[in-house]
Amino acid sequence: MDIEFNKQHLLKFVQIRMPFGKYQGRLLIDLPDEYLVWFSNKGFPQGELGKLLEELAEIKLNGLEFLFKDLR
């Protein structure tokens, strides 16, 4: 997967809230790793949300959280 590491793109993780499910209303950046792993195993939703969740999983599960420094 080609992950675009620019600030505008990364800002989406601190601006968009999970629209459904167990963590509805929580900012994407605050979703627990195990929830992202669950999506990774079951399949990500369609559309932009799915792409964002997939990217977030890649970032978090590969220890790249430093990319989020100073975004909040």
pLDDT, tens digit, 9 for 90 and up, residues 36-55: 999 999 999 999 999 999 99
Looking at residue 9, what is its pLDDT? 81
Looking at residue 67, what is its pLDDT? 86
Looking at residue 70, what is its pLDDT? 79
Looking at residue 5, what is its pLDDT? 58
CA neighbor of 14 nearest in space, from 61, 44, 59, 46: 59
Looking at residue 41, what is its pLDDT? 96
Q: Between 33-42 and 47-61, two packed helices, what is the crossing angle to 10 degrees?
A: 120
For the chain, residues with pLDDT lower than 70 are 1-5
State both tokens at 15: 């601006």
What ranges in the chain are assigned the alpha helix state H? 7-15, 33-42, 47-61
Sketch the domain layout of the chain as residue ranges. Answer: 7-66
